[in-house]
Structure 1
Amino acid sequence: MDIYHLEYFMEVARQKSFSKAADAIHISQPSISKAIRDLERQLGVKLFYRSNRHVELTDAGEAILEQAQQIVSSFSAITARLDGLTKLQTGKINIGLPPITGVTTFARVLGDFKKEYPKITMNLYEYGSKKIEQAIQEGLIDIGIICAPPEESVIYEMIFFPVDPLWVIMHPEHRLSTVQSIDYRELEPEQLISYSNDFSLHDIVINRCRQEGFQPRIVFETSQLELMTQLVAASIGIALLPSKVCRKFDGQAIVSRPLQDQTLGIRLALCWKKGRYLSHAVRELLSFFNTNYNLPDDGSGI
């Protein structure tokens, strides 16, 4: 039995005629008659009383008609849903974003994507890079932006962003605010406001300081960029952030200075798990991002 058998059966019941049903659904009368005979044989019951003038449903036919209508309706809903997915009219994408990215090129692309595919739902989750990696591996999110990814990975597929060098942010009256650039060794006596240890930037800064022979004096760890900048503005300590984030500060409450070592920075990548099934919606977003993320750099990107 297939869905067409039930549709033919419903049309004959509606038309009370094999010939009229065949005309209505544009198939030959022998074909529809054979389909009904096959259905009766599979079900083991007679579905119609046949006469020269018209056909009538049997009791069994009446009972089966109600079920057939429900089955065909459900099947139509399924095919409509799949059609929507394959044509990218519907779907859902779970995306992990670290708060350090701020207002990003990726965020602009998400906005453009949403305009083009308004029925696709995008669920955004704010996590540190390490938690994003874990969520991707566990299948809790489809894609995410992570910090300091390896160039090659057996776990992830990745689209890389350009490296963004780290700068130091501080209160305008801080002693380092008078210099043009800062050497890492000058950070040794400073109190540092850091991202918490579920952020890759936390490890990047600590490891770089250790390379210079000192352990940074971390006085506070947070997952919130706004709280970090408020503490810096209150002269509690200094912090290291990507240069494009630092350029957004107005200079009255917070000033920023580049590090002399511009090779150290944040490398972000959009990643997803290798070998994992990606929905039509996710694949289209990745294609859309590949095509559109290289926008002119206006300082608001990653």
Structure 2
Amino acid sequence: MELRQLQYFVKVARKQHVTQAAEELHVAQSAVSRQIHMLEEELGVDLFVQKGRNLHLTSVGHLFLSRVEGILTDLERAVGEIHEFLDPEAGEIRIGFPHSLVINLLPAVVAAFKKNHPNVKFRLRQGTYTSLIRDVSRGEIDLAFISPFPKSHEHVTGEILLTEELYAIIPANHILADYTSIRLEQLKNEPFVMFSEEYTLRTIVMDACQKAGFVPKIEFEGEETDTIRGLVAAGMGVSLLPAMALLESGQTQPVKIRVTDPQVTRTVGLICRKDVKLPLVAEVFRRFLYDYFK
């Protein structure tokens, strides 16, 4: 059994398609198919079953995948530790983040860290709340910014870095545009522009509206803060966004207004895997972040 076979197997399992896996691996489709076939022959089982155009894992394939992913993650970590031992300042940090933090927060902290650690590399992965916890739990990334910070979790731990206020955003020609603050119930008859259901910002806004005594009428949904902000600025509705998502300037911007009743906030934290020692360079970055946000 070769390392290459395991790497090809994991890629096909994730993509559910040999052609797409081959494209990402930058090898011929026939090479991937051959290695998978040789792996199945060696194991004496079928790891995949064809369903339409896609390949789906068999039950034993799922079992094998969980083990192989752990092996490859441990191997990658071992190689990284050797590189760090030779030169800790030339290591790589694998970090995840939600889209709402990428505009200002992530570039700022990475730039500040690299002033004293110029040779450290960052491998960045954007994700949702659920996918970031999953990736940290699996060891696919070392650290992740996350919001809201999970109160407790079986596989991850960490610390809250900051608590951020959410503001109401409305079109510039709205009747409330000149207000410095509002009660959330003043928007109860307005159409809302919301994040789609897999995003925690949607849950935060929905809960706030419920506290204010109404269920928002959702007219549009989006997956990025830029989309939400742009639709509101264009007069398509109102919304709530974190302060960090409203720092950009430009000609087409909504009006932001503080919400006083109820005050709406979110926690932003940093998580890592429980009971697993971070790579040295990632641990240095973790400590830097805690000091940075103090």
TM range, smaller chain: 0.5 to 0.7
Give the secondary-structure state (helix, strand or coil) at the position aligned to 2:122.
strand
Structure 2 counterpart of 1:223 = 223
Give the secondary-structure state (helix, strand or coil) at the position aligned to 2:261.
coil
* 8 A Cα contact 1:170 1:233, kept in partner: yes
* 8 A Cα contact 1:172 1:252, kept in partner: no
Residue 97 of structure 1: how far off its partner (Å): 1.3
Output the CA distance in 1 between the equivalents of 2:252 and 2:178: 14
* 8 A Cα contact 2:88 2:280, kept in partner: yes
Residue 238 of structure 1: how far off its partner (Å): 1.2
| Amino acid corresponding to residue 240 of structure 1 in structure 2 | L
Query: Structure 1 residues 249 and 174, CA, compared in 2 at 3 Å: closer, same or farther?
Result: farther
Structure 1 counterpart of 2:127 = 127
| Amino acid corresponding to residue 169 of structure 1 in structure 2 | I
Query: Structure 1 residues 291 and 260, CA, compared in 2 at 3 Å: closer, same or farther?
Result: closer
Structure 1 counterpart of 2:5 = none
Output the CA distance in 2 between the equivalents of 1:266 and 1:182: 19
Alignment of structure 1 residues 278-289 onto 2, 5 Å: 278-289=278-289
* 8 A Cα contact 1:131 1:198, kept in partner: no
Query: Structure 1 residues 80 and 250, CA, compared in 2 at 3 Å: closer, same or farther?
Result: closer
> Larger Rg: 1 or 2?
1
| Amino acid corresponding to residue 182 of structure 2 in structure 1 | I
| Amino acid corresponding to residue 159 of structure 1 in structure 2 | E
Which runs of no fewer than 5 residues in structure 1 stay unpaired? 1-77, 295-302
* 8 A Cα contact 1:106 1:293, kept in partner: no
RMSD over aligned CA atoms reads 2.7
Give the secondary-structure state (helix, strand or coil) at the position aligned to 1:203.
helix
Alignment of structure 1 residues 200-211 onto 2, 5 Å: 200-211=200-211
Give the secondary-structure state (helix, strand or coil) at the position aligned to 2:241.
strand
Output the CA distance in 2 between the equivalents of 1:81 and 1:207: 44
Structure 2 counterpart of 1:171 = 171
Structure 2 counterpart of 1:36 = none
The answer as to 2:281 corresponding to 1:257 is no
Structure 2 counterpart of 1:5 = none
TM-score normalised per structure 1: 0.63
Residue 143 of structure 1: how far off its partner (Å): 0.9
Give the secondary-structure state (helix, strand or coil) at the position aligned to 2:159.
strand
Q: 1:247-299 deviations in whole A, cap 9, x for unaligned?
A: 544686321111013642111001112112311111111122223334xxxxx
* 8 A Cα contact 1:89 1:119, kept in partner: yes
Query: Structure 1 residues 124 and 83, CA, compared in 2 at 3 Å: closer, same or farther?
Result: closer
Number of residue pairs the alignment of both structures matches = 217
Output the CA distance in 2 between the equivalents of 1:98 and 1:136: 13
Residue 123 of structure 1: how far off its partner (Å): 0.9
The answer as to 2:172 corresponding to 1:181 is no
Matched residues, percent identical?
23
Output the CA distance in 2 between the equivalents of 1:150 and 1:126: 18
The answer as to 2:192 corresponding to 1:192 is yes
TM-score normalised per structure 2: 0.65
* 8 A Cα contact 1:191 1:217, kept in partner: yes
Residue 120 of structure 1: how far off its partner (Å): 2.7
Structure 2 counterpart of 1:243 = 243
Give the secondary-structure state (helix, strand or coil) at the position aligned to 2:92.
strand
Structure 2 counterpart of 1:98 = 98
* 8 A Cα contact 2:149 2:268, kept in partner: yes
The answer as to 2:232 corresponding to 1:232 is yes
* 8 A Cα contact 1:94 1:143, kept in partner: yes
Which runs of no fewer than 5 residues in structure 2 stay unpaired? 1-77
Query: Structure 1 residues 234 and 252, CA, compared in 2 at 3 Å: closer, same or farther?
Result: closer
